[in-house]
Structure 1
Amino acid sequence: METELGSGLSEDAEAAVDWFLTLTLVVKTFLMGLIIAASIFGNLLVIISVARFRKLRIITNYFVVSLAMADILVALVAMGFNASVIIFGQWIFSYAMCDIWNSFDVYCCTVSILHLCCISVDRYYAISQPLMYPMKITRKKVAVMLANIWTWPALISFFPIFLGWYTTDEHQLYREKNPHSCRFVVNKVYALISSSISFWIPCTIMLYTYYRIYEMASRQEKMLLKNADAALLFRQQNQRRSAEMEQHQIHHIQQQNQDGASITTAVGAAINGPNSGILPAIQVTKPDVLLEVNGKAQQQQQNGTPISSSPPPPPPENKRISAGDRSALLDSASDANRYQCRDETCSNTPTISKDSKHLQKIRREHKAARTLGIIMGAFVLCWLPFFIWYLSVTLCGDMCYCPDIVVEVLFWIGYFNSTLNPLIYAYFNKDFREAFRNTLVCVFCTRCQDPREQQRDQLAALGFHQQQQQHGKNNLGRLSVASAENQTSRTIRHSSGDTIAGIERIDHKRLSGVAVQNL
């Protein structure tokens, strides 16, 4: 009875263990498949986006495209074979395929890491020597660098592994007796050389270059902020000075119209009406009125010409404000405003100086360096634990034993770096983000717009926006002149009203006098 009970409990325990192992295997398979698919899809998206969008075809992105190709190889070969070993629990391929897998694993991971190292050097020259960068980093030099990146890692992967230099004699005998095992056991010399070329030397170069980039970027950022503060202060002072001058001009015109000159104007519907004809003129007598016409202030004086309803011959010194004169006044004031703008080194049209373009370029370089710095940080976090384990196990042997599950996790954390790179591009780089969005819309939706057409649409929208901005600035430039002209018109209408009221009082007195005489 006890035996049957014990066997029943053992069967239940075995079933529970089997169920747990099956669930663990399903979760592992799902996660590994997700990482592989995301790595292939994301890096393909990088390659397609750079191919479709001319804006992304810059020197740095040549390294990025080549890195994406290396990461696709990591996903297809290194991750694929490793996943098969985890799923089936053993090596299901031939003896030669084991060497091919180990060779591609070392080769692809080394190529990916060397790409990141070259990108850091490229960014270092772009920020430290921006004027010499186009001459130092040319397309031909980039092609040579990429050729070396793809060639030299073969010297620490395919040749030593196929020739048997990478491992110990004991492991060679073990592999011959156990063909279903494909463990990558290396000797101490190969571990030191391969890890140094694959990780430690590139990592040291990247840390140094990004530390230098951080120093220069911080220093240039402080200079940019200082220059921006100075430019903002200068712009505020210039705007305040322009506002004071405009206010002074308006006050000057108002003072001139209040203090005096003789203005011949048309009274009636013609002064504001649609017709430009001149009605019978009214002579308004005031001492010394200045009227600015054609950009010059002219002072005229009229010695009390009698007021009549018939148009007297206008003296040559009098000025008649009609619709044409009003437009001439506006044009002359606008010319004066433009002349003043030239004196004050301001402009109605938005201009971008060489310095501002240089500052914008520096900002773009800093943003690219910051993005690539995040990529480098992700690289260190992903690969550093693996290479620490790789060296420690090789150098201290069985004393540094590590469970198989931990080894699997370390391998896949390193592989996961190939999946992270395109995600970092999409999140931190605006150009890649827009290119990814457009490419995804083109792939999964029916709205597929050619990049050249999209660029033309963006340029057209930008031109329309600049035209609207220019129109608004021109209107603001004429605001002071329009205010002065309106004040002049109100002064004229007020003077005309006073004159008409005076005429009515005179006529009323005359009529009253006639009525008294008749009585």
Structure 2
Amino acid sequence: MFARNPSIICVSIYIFLSLLSVVTILGNLLVIISVIYFKQLHTPTNSLILSLAAADLLVGILVFPLSMAFSLSSCIYYEHVLCKIRRCLDITLSTCSILNLCCISIDRYYAVCKPLSYSIKINYNIVMIMILMSWGVPALIGIGVIIAGLNQGKCEERCFINIQIKSTTASVLSFYIPVIIMLGIYLKIFLVAQKQARSIQSTKSGARVSKMERKATKTLAIVLGVFLLCWTPFFVCNNISHFSSDPMPDPVIETLNWLTLSNSMLNPFIYAFFYSWFRSAFRIIISGKILQGDFTNSKLR
């Protein structure tokens, strides 16, 4: 009876989460259109940002609705097959985001620490290989989880969301190790950037280029920081629950799950806030100017 007469609170939560999904979709669409449309944004780094935005877009389109279904499963009944699809998408897209961030950190490392060899080490062919690996490996993992039957079991009254493989080993391999690697890379970048800032102050053009690279690295480091703030609590609590006799409270699980999903919504706002050229691109797209003429070669400031 309750399923046929959802409460006002349940409906309100659906509306709020639906708006969250819409903002996630529109924000990442702006990033994707900007990178594809404007030639000034056709860089290896932005290609990796485009790949990350595509993963976030799919989270908004696919994972958000299924998460709403299972988070509010007391409001309506869903079949077991949706539970498997939901978990497969979670594992695939979350791992994809992590690998994309790893690739971005590698790109930043060569841009700041080894600028003379950057164009050789990080060209479009290498970037395409990075992107293919960032999508191919997670897809294989997600499919493998389903085939191996790691997510078997019927959805009971509430089918709680488990974004990564439940075992601690899988969490270490898919989250903790990549994060430690990224933190190490960014620490190295910041140390090198400080040395560069002191050594090239006498060269105006060199200082300008270095400043741009450091700003890009700082922005992408903030993207990583926000990612950690959104994802770490879930993984920590998930691992703690494996060693605890008491299960994690349901509201905590649901809250941490939606915190992880909110990361896909926040990235476009970070780009818009820190990158002036993304802000310019967003304004041109939102105003509809790209429908009135050719702005592909516009100088974004």
- What residue is the counterpart of 1:244 in the other structure? none
Mapped partners of 2:269, 2:82: distance in 1: 32
Q: Give the structure-1-normalised TM-score.
A: 0.53
| Residues 1:157 and 2:3 are matched in the alignment | no
Shift of 1:74: 1.3
Whether the 8 Å CA contact 1:441–1:448 is kept in 2: the answer is: no
Residue correspondence of structure 1 range 8-23 to structure 2 within 5 A: 22-23=7-8
Mapped partners of 1:368, 1:215: distance in 2: 15
Which of 78, 83, 87 is residue 72 of structure 2 equivalent to? 87
Mapped partners of 2:8, 2:252: distance in 1: 18
| Residues 1:442 and 2:288 are matched in the alignment | yes
Mapped partners of 2:144, 2:158: distance in 1: 21
- What residue is the counterpart of 2:187 in the other structure? 211
Letter in 2 for 1:195: S
Letter in 1 for 2:216: A
| Residues 1:192 and 2:168 are matched in the alignment | yes
| Residues 1:390 and 2:234 are matched in the alignment | no
Mapped partners of 1:409, 1:181: distance in 2: 15
Quickly say closer, same or farther: Cα 1:97–1:30, change in 2 above 3 A.
closer
Letter in 2 for 1:419: M
Residue correspondence of structure 1 range 424-463 to structure 2 within 5 A: 424-442=270-288, 448-452=292-296, 454-455=298-299
Letter in 2 for 1:182: C
Mapped partners of 1:180, 1:22: distance in 2: 17
Quickly say closer, same or farther: Cα 1:183–1:407, change in 2 above 3 A.
closer
Mapped partners of 2:17, 2:80: distance in 1: 24
- What residue is the counterpart of 1:366 in the other structure? 214
Whether the 8 Å CA contact 1:49–1:435 is kept in 2: the answer is: yes
Mapped partners of 1:383, 1:423: distance in 2: 18
Whether the 8 Å CA contact 1:43–1:68 is kept in 2: the answer is: yes
| Residues 1:379 and 2:227 are matched in the alignment | yes
Whether the 8 Å CA contact 2:166–2:238 is kept in 1: the answer is: no
SS in 1 for 2:243: helix
Greater relative contact order (CA < 8 Å, ≥ 6 in sequence): 2
Mapped partners of 2:188, 2:16: distance in 1: 38
Whether the 8 Å CA contact 1:110–1:198 is kept in 2: the answer is: yes
| Residues 1:423 and 2:272 are matched in the alignment | no
- What residue is the counterpart of 1:351 in the other structure? none
Mapped partners of 2:281, 2:192: distance in 1: 30
- What residue is the counterpart of 1:500 in the other structure? none
Whether the 8 Å CA contact 1:426–1:432 is kept in 2: the answer is: yes
Shift of 1:110: 0.9
Task: Write out per-residue CA displacement over residues 1-59 of structure 1, whole angstroms, 9 at most, x where no aligned residue.
Answer: xxxxxxxxxxxxxxxxxxxx945324422331222111100000001111221000100
Letter in 2 for 1:372: L
Task: Write out per-residue CA displacement over residues 289-343 of structure 1, whole angstroms, 9 at most, x where no aligned residue.
Answer: xxxxxxxxxxxxxxxxxxxxxxxxxxxxxxxxxxxxxxxxxxxxxxxxxxxxxxx
Mapped partners of 1:358, 1:52: distance in 2: 29
- What residue is the counterpart of 1:144 in the other structure? 129
Mapped partners of 1:376, 1:39: distance in 2: 18
Quickly say closer, same or farther: Cα 1:25–1:150, change in 2 above 3 A.
same
Mapped partners of 1:35, 1:185: distance in 2: 20
Shift of 1:166: 4.9
Task: Write out per-residue CA displacement over residues 343-388 of structure 1, whole angstroms, 9 at most, x where no aligned residue.
Answer: xxxxxxxxxxxx5433322111111001001111101100000000
Mapped partners of 2:188, 2:68: distance in 1: 39
Residue correspondence of structure 1 range 247-396 to structure 2 within 5 A: 356-396=204-244
Mapped partners of 2:11, 2:169: distance in 1: 37
Shift of 1:407: 1.0
- What residue is the counterpart of 2:260 in the other structure? 414
Quickly say closer, same or farther: Cα 1:410–1:220, change in 2 above 3 A.
same
Quickly say closer, same or farther: Cα 1:416–1:448, change in 2 above 3 A.
same
Mapped partners of 1:162, 1:393: distance in 2: 25
Mapped partners of 2:59, 2:269: distance in 1: 16
Shift of 1:402: 2.2
Which of 102, 107, 113 is residue 122 of structure 1 equivalent to? 107
- What residue is the counterpart of 1:325 in the other structure? none
Quickly say closer, same or farther: Cα 1:201–1:66, change in 2 above 3 A.
same
Deviates more, 1:122-131 or 1:209-218: 209-218
SS in 2 for 1:451: coil
- What residue is the counterpart of 1:350 in the other structure? none
Letter in 2 for 1:217: A
Mapped partners of 2:75, 2:187: distance in 1: 44
Whether the 8 Å CA contact 1:441–1:447 is kept in 2: the answer is: no
Whether the 8 Å CA contact 1:74–1:415 is kept in 2: the answer is: yes
Shift of 1:415: 0.5
Shift of 1:206: 1.2
| Residues 1:182 and 2:159 are matched in the alignment | yes
Whether the 8 Å CA contact 2:73–2:158 is kept in 1: the answer is: no
| Residues 1:70 and 2:55 are matched in the alignment | yes
Whether the 8 Å CA contact 1:107–1:154 is kept in 2: the answer is: yes
Whether the 8 Å CA contact 1:99–1:162 is kept in 2: the answer is: no
Q: Give the structure-2-normalised TM-score.
A: 0.89
Deviates more, 1:130-139 or 1:156-165: 156-165
Gaps of 5+ in 1: 1-20, 228-354, 460-519
Whether the 8 Å CA contact 1:46–1:422 is kept in 2: the answer is: yes
Whether the 8 Å CA contact 1:74–1:418 is kept in 2: the answer is: yes
Which of 159, 177, 180 is residue 201 of structure 1 equivalent to? 177
Whether the 8 Å CA contact 2:73–2:157 is kept in 1: the answer is: no
Which structure has the larger Rg over C-alpha atoms?
A: 1
SS in 2 for 1:131: helix
| Residues 1:405 and 2:285 are matched in the alignment | no
Whether the 8 Å CA contact 1:50–1:57 is kept in 2: the answer is: yes
Q: Percent identity, aligned pairs only?
A: 34
Task: Write out per-residue CA displacement over residues 472-515 of structure 1, whole angstroms, 9 at most, x where no aligned residue.
Answer: xxxxxxxxxxxxxxxxxxxxxxxxxxxxxxxxxxxxxxxxxxxx
Whether the 8 Å CA contact 2:10–2:75 is kept in 1: the answer is: no
Whether the 8 Å CA contact 2:71–2:161 is kept in 1: the answer is: no
Mapped partners of 1:185, 1:414: distance in 2: 11
